Amino acid sequence: MTRVKRSLHARKKRRATLELTKGFRGEAHSGYRRAKEALMKADAYAYRDRRNRKRDFRRLWIVRINAAARLNGMSYSQLMHGLQKAGVELDRKVLADIAVRDAEAFRRLAEIAQEAASAA
């Protein structure tokens, strides 16, 4: 078996890891072993939290829609059911944005939902 000289590649790999841990505290940004451990942990948290962010935003949108719906005399579930019956295909992200930015447009949507829910 031929000998493998790692000098250049090993240094390059370590330098890349230390560059990625720039801004970490203590030895986690300067010592290679601690930096590698910190980076593995950071990557795991980043992977997990990319999924949690979607969950958190959906919860926020629902809270905002519910608050606006209650200002219009409906609950969140009544509003969503009425919009579905009326064939209004707006997702929660857009509904929440309308609720925050344009109360009058949301009031009209609430009226549409109420009419559709009572007609069924």
Q: Phi-psi bin for 89: left (phi > 0), alpha (psi -120 to 50), beta?
A: beta
Question: What is the Cα–Cα distance from 3 to 112, expressed in whole angstroms?
Answer: 76
Q: Which two tokens stand for residue 82?
A: 């009425």
DSSP string, 34-79: HHHHHHHHHHHHHHHHHHHHHHHHHHHHHHHHHHHHHHTT--HHHH
Question: How far is 74 from 79, CA to CA, in rounded Å?
Answer: 6
Could you give the CA distance from residue 92 to residue 104 in angstroms, rounded to a whole number? Answer: 17
pTM: 0.82
Q: Which domains does the chain have, with CATH numbers?
A: 9-119 (1.10.1900.20)
Per-residue pLDDT tens digits of the chain, which is 120 residues long: 899 889 999 999 999 999 999 999 999 999 999 999 999 999 999 999 999 999 999 999 999 999 999 999 999 999 999 999 999 999 999 999 999 999 999 999 999 999 999 986
